[in-house]
Amino acid sequence: MTRERIYLFDTTLRDGQQTPGIDFSVEDKIAITTLLDDFGMDYVEGGYPGANPTDTEFFKRKRTKKASFVAFGMTKRAGVSASNDPGLAALLEANTDAICLVAKSWDYHVAVALGCSNEENLDNIRASVAAVVGAGREAMVDCEHFFDGYKANRAYALACAQTAFEAGARWIVLCDTNGGTQPHEVREIVSAVIAAGVPGASLGIHAHNDTGQAIANSLAAVEAGVRQIQGTLNGIGERCGNANLVTLIPTLALKEIYSSRFETAIDSDRLQELTKLSHAFDELLNRSPDMQAPYVGASAFATKAGIHASALLKDPRTYEHIAPESVGNLRKVMVSDQGGKANFINALKRRGIVVGKDDPKLDKLIAIVKEREATGYAYEGADASFALLASRILGTVPDFFHVESFRVMVERRFDANGHLKTVSEAVVRVVVDGETMMSVAEGHGPVNALDLALRKDLGKYQSEIEDLELADYKVRILNGGTEAITRVLIESTDGTGARWWTVGVSDNIIDASFQALMDSIIFKLLKNRDHVGLIAAE
């Protein structure tokens, strides 16, 4: 069966640049273009040459190998010819395969923003498209405010699309610029455009997520006949963002109602790179990936629920809408307050701890975890603390060392030169093999001081923890007031590149930190002995 081709148009570097808080450098744009080009997007829109120094620099060269490289800009102004319009000239100078011209299609904006007549605007579209085609480039026209414009003046919006098509534009893109249009309106209006003579094979959709409908609007447009989708990586874009291509691509490829009728340039091998693409882009933006993102989020195939987890283990396919591997993601079954016995057995198994489901120690472990989670512990975020607790209850953990006492002091006072100074100091008494050692350290704040003092002298174990490093430290206050319960999560790492999380909970932040620090050190010592996970099986 022949399937119709859907073209993917990426505007991460243009509309995505309108995202509050996101500013791309030229180097960013080059790196992102490579990601997009390698992945297999049909079109990569790089920005707006002439609008700012970054984009002008970026467009000095063609930046794609396979994808069509696209520059964005405005149609010529009224009152000048296409050849005398400086904006259009800058666009034609840019080294691209295609040019996307934004054109007003809502008569109100023609009057207010452009200050010209409706007929002049049509002339601008006609002449600008002709100039682009005349220069041997592929022309496309973004009909700005198309859906709102259609509702205000149907005939004029249609005339804008028709004019662009007749002038030779390869694509006429219907833009929901303000983002408020609903899917059934999209369906209805796209059908009207096709009925007015612009074929679906020449139509694109540009949707925004202001009502959480960018995905639905894009797919409604495809169902109504549109064959190009504009969107961005991870749905960045002006205001609430653009249609998220990372969500749309797998839906088109994996949902039978679409995959039976349509195909994109992304084959199933590429699709397995989707999670990597999404995370690589977040890395470039220096932000944490959205754990709940469809298809690619760390939680997208995670299950906490006890009732689901046991069935999930019997047959994953019946609790997953797609196979996580098909988009390069992973299945996760988590330990938590919510979890049933099957969850626990599975979580232990992944750590190499085998325990029978009728072992009374397992019931004890589950009871302790539930009780602790009720007081604020969060073991699903603290793998190493969970493994330690399980090892202690199901087996044994050696008494490597013992902290007899500690004292942490923070003092703020004037120093000898009359400057206000805050000093943090910690003292710990550690017993190793019957021998007591005292260590003292200063730090940036009390927790840092305690950490340094704790790891300063562990006697015969000291050489083993030299490569231990704290990578992250998180604090969460679990209820209000300064008397609140505090949860501390610590991420540790060592020379092998391994990473583990530990947790501590107390009404005293120092105590909570101490618990998490201790778990981290003991986990490291067990790890050095390949001991984690083997204990229960002994």
Considering only residues 17, 33, 232, 264, which one is a binding residue for its own copies as defined by CB under 8 A? 17
Of 123 and 238, nearer to its own copies (C-beta) is 238
Note the helical H segments in 240-382.
245-254, 256-259, 268-271, 274-285, 306-314, 341-350, 360-374
Q: How far apart are CA 249 and CA 264, in angstroms?
A: 8
Identify residues 229-248 at the interface with its own copies (CB under 8 A).
235-236, 238-241, 244, 247
Q: Which of 506, 518, 528, 534 binds its own copies (CB under 8 A)?
A: 506
Residue corresponding to tokens 């893109």: 173
Binding its own copies (rule: CB under 8 A), the pick from 259, 299, 326, 528 is 299
How many other C-beta atoms are found inside a 10 Å radius of the C-beta of residue 314?
9
Instruction: Find the length of the chain.
Output: 538
Q: Select from 4-12, 266-274, 349-357, 370-378 the region that touches its own copies (CB under 8 A).
A: 370-378
By CB under 8 A, tell whether 23 contacts its own copies. yes
Sheet holding 469-477, edge to edge: 469-477, 486-493, 499-506
CB-nearer residue toward its own copies: 62 or 407: 407
276 makes contact with its own copies (CB under 8 A): no
Sole binder of its own copies in the list 34, 95, 272, 448 (CB under 8 A)? 448
Contact flag: residue 303 with its own copies (CB under 8 A): yes
The one among 131, 205, 378, 532 contacting its own copies by CB under 8 A: 378
Q: Half-sphere exposure (CA, 13 Å, Cβ side) for 168? A: 16
Exactly one of 155, 195, 307, 438 binds its own copies (CB under 8 A); that residue is 307
Residue 287 CB, shortest distance to its own copies, in Å, is 9
Among 5, 62, 402, 444, binds its own copies (CB under 8 A): 444
Determine phi and psi for 523, rounding to 5 degrees: -60, -40
How many other CB atoms are there within 10 angstroms of residue 248's CB atom?
Answer: 25
Q: Which stretch binds its own copies (CB under 8 A): 120-128, 196-204, 365-373, 386-394?
A: 365-373
Burial class (CB in 10 A: 0-12, 13-18, 19+), 482: exposed
Q: How far is the CB of 531 from its own copies (least distance, A)?
A: 26
Residue partners of 1: CB distance under 8 A and separation at least 6: 260
Torsions phi, psi of 172, nearest 5? -115, 115
* 484-503 positions binding its own copies, by CB under 8 A: 484, 486, 490-491
CB 16 within 8 A of CB 273: no
Q: What is the closest distance, in whole angstroms, from the C-beta atom of residue 519 to its own copies in the complex?
A: 14
C-alpha radius of gyration, the chain, whole number: 30
In whole angstroms, give the CA distance from residue 359 to residue 209.
51
Number of residues that bind its own copies (CB under 8 A): 141
Strands (E), 311-419: 332-333, 402-414
Nearest CB to its own copies, comparing residues 65 and 407: 407
Contact call for residue 180 and its own copies (CB under 8 A): yes
Distance between CA atoms of 105 and 117, rounded to whole angstroms?
12
* Contact pick of 166, 363, 467, 507 for its own copies (by CB under 8 A): 507
**Which among 90-98, 193-201, 260-268, 445-453 is the span making contact with its own copies, rule CB under 8 A?**
445-453
Nearer to its own copies, 159 or 510 (CB): 510
CB of 529 to its own copies, least distance (A): 26
Residues 115-144 that bind its own copies (CB under 8 A): none
Between the alpha carbon of residue 98 and those of residues 54, 81, 172, 505, the distances in Å are 19, 21, 13, 58
Candidate segments 61-69, 302-310, 347-355, 456-464, binder of its own copies by CB under 8 A = 302-310
Q: Does 381 bind its own copies (CB under 8 A)?
A: yes
Question: Smallest gap, in angstroms, from Cβ of residue 363 to its own copies?
Answer: 15
Angle at 142 between CA 140 and CA 143, to 5 degrees: 125
Give CA–CA dist 87/114, Å, rounded: 14
Residues of span 252-271 touching its own copies by CB under 8 A: 255, 257-258
520 touches its own copies (CB under 8 A): no
- Among the residue ranges 154-162, 225-233, 265-273, 307-315, the one whose residues contact its own copies (CB under 8 A): 307-315
Compare residues 371 and 466 and give the one whose CB is closer to its own copies. 371
Phi/psi-derived region of residue 168, left when phi > 0, alpha when psi is between -120 and 50, beta in every other case: left
Chosen residue from 155, 195, 291, 330 binding its own copies by CB under 8 A: 291
Tokens of 526: 């067990």
State the sign of the Cα–Cα–Cα–Cα dihedral 322, 328, 331, 332: negative
Contact residue for its own copies among 136, 356, 360, 481 (CB under 8 A)? 481
Residue 2 sits in the site that holds its own copies (CB under 8 A): no
Q: Is 33 in the site for its own copies (CB under 8 A)?
A: no
Dihedral of CA atoms 523, 330, 213, 200 in degrees, nearest 10, equals 150
Give least dist CB 288 to its own copies, A.
10
Closest approach, Cβ 88 to its own copies, in A, equals 15
Q: Binding of its own copies at residue 417 (CB under 8 A)?
A: no
